[in-house]
Homo-oligomer: A and B are copies of this chain.
């Protein structure tokens, strides 16, 4: 199967579930009083997003229950112990956590745009954005607490959701701290990416397994699937920033490099003796030319740094797909493999 066919299948699978996910987000997070607070809380969630993490949650559930989209009620999803859980609430809770982290990260990183719209602190103000994030944080836990089924399973999911949030905070803190480090190692960068980005994919995949009474072995395999494909996703982001034309990226190609953002690629290049800081030293995102970026990319290619990152992403993806072997062989588990592949084969 070509990458293009994989991408088509994944996008179709996401599309098939997106409307239900969007409806559920709206239902689980109604426009309550005080209205301005809830408007700000819902703003980014309503601005779009692929819903990758909720899709992972639903697909793991479908794979374990041997169910097919359209033939199953996510709101009363069958567990192995003949119970029922609201798998859709779990999917929404994960997406709400993701939205909370984006809102607070955008304040911290002073990013003005997100998903093609103004960041929440820019559309409203910083105070409202802090509070909107805090509200989504507690709402996610409220929603997750209400999935039904075995209380011990729900409690375990709540425990994992809270430790996941702690790790996300630690990852963001490391990301900020790394800006002033000149001796950063690739292993440290990967550890940061794991906490900041990948653990939430891990939770998205492990949570449905816990709720459906899957064996511990399956729960851990799903967690690893999520973490590994989430790390690959982030590494691929770094590769795309250098290799995809600006028009397709929707922003200046090589902007990470111009802004001196450390990535797995630059860290590898440093280890190879490349003067990374000198590559685009005098440029700004506005002034940099395609020729300058081409030259910088060529240097990084010659050092084997882009290939190093690409191989790392591919290796992680291969590992993550192996984790799926514990699942029954069905359409949903195949889609989870496709989804891992898509995360590193996608354009921007």
Chain A interface residues (CB < 8 Å from chain B)? 32-34, 36-37, 104, 107-108, 126-128, 130-131, 133-135, 137-139, 141-142, 145-146, 151-152, 154-155, 158-159, 161-166, 169-170, 172-174, 176-177
Which residues of chain B are within 8 angstroms of A166 by Cβ–Cβ distance? 135, 138-139, 142
Q: How often does this chain occur in the complex, in copies?
A: 2
> Smallest CB-CB separation from A108: which chain B residue?
B127
Q: Are A130 and B159 in contact (CB under 8 A)?
A: no
* Complex Cα gap A173–B39 (Å): 12
Which residues of chain B are within 8 angstroms of A155 by Cβ–Cβ distance? 145, 151, 154-155, 158
Known: A139-B166, A151-B155. A104 touches B134 (CB 8 A): yes
* Complex Cα gap A348–B155 (Å): 40
Q: Are B145 and A162 in contact (CB under 8 A)?
A: yes
* Complex Cα gap A78–B345 (Å): 56
Interface of A is mostly: helix
Known: A138-B163, A141-B158. A169 touches B108 (CB 8 A): no
Which residues of chain B are within 8 angstroms of A130 by Cβ–Cβ distance? 104, 107-108, 130
Q: Are B108 and A137 in contact (CB under 8 A)?
A: no
**Which of B36, B131, B169, B172 has a CB less than 8 Å from the CB of A138?**
B169
> Smallest CB-CB separation from A107: which chain B residue?
B130
Q: Are B33 and A170 in contact (CB under 8 A)?
A: yes
> Smallest CB-CB separation from A191: which chain B residue?
B33
> Smallest CB-CB separation from A40: which chain B residue?
B173
* Complex Cα gap A89–B33 (Å): 32
- Min Cβ gap A348→B in Å is 27
Q: Are B177 and A163 in contact (CB under 8 A)?
A: no
Q: Are A165 and B36 in contact (CB under 8 A)?
A: no
- Min Cβ gap A194→B in Å is 13
* Complex Cα gap A115–B130 (Å): 22
- Min Cβ gap A90→B in Å is 14
Q: Are A142 and B169 in contact (CB under 8 A)?
A: no
Which residues of chain B are within 8 angstroms of A154 by Cβ–Cβ distance? 155
Q: Are A131 and B146 in contact (CB under 8 A)?
A: no
Q: Are A146 and B159 in contact (CB under 8 A)?
A: yes
Which residues of chain B are within 8 angstroms of A139 by Cβ–Cβ distance? 162, 166
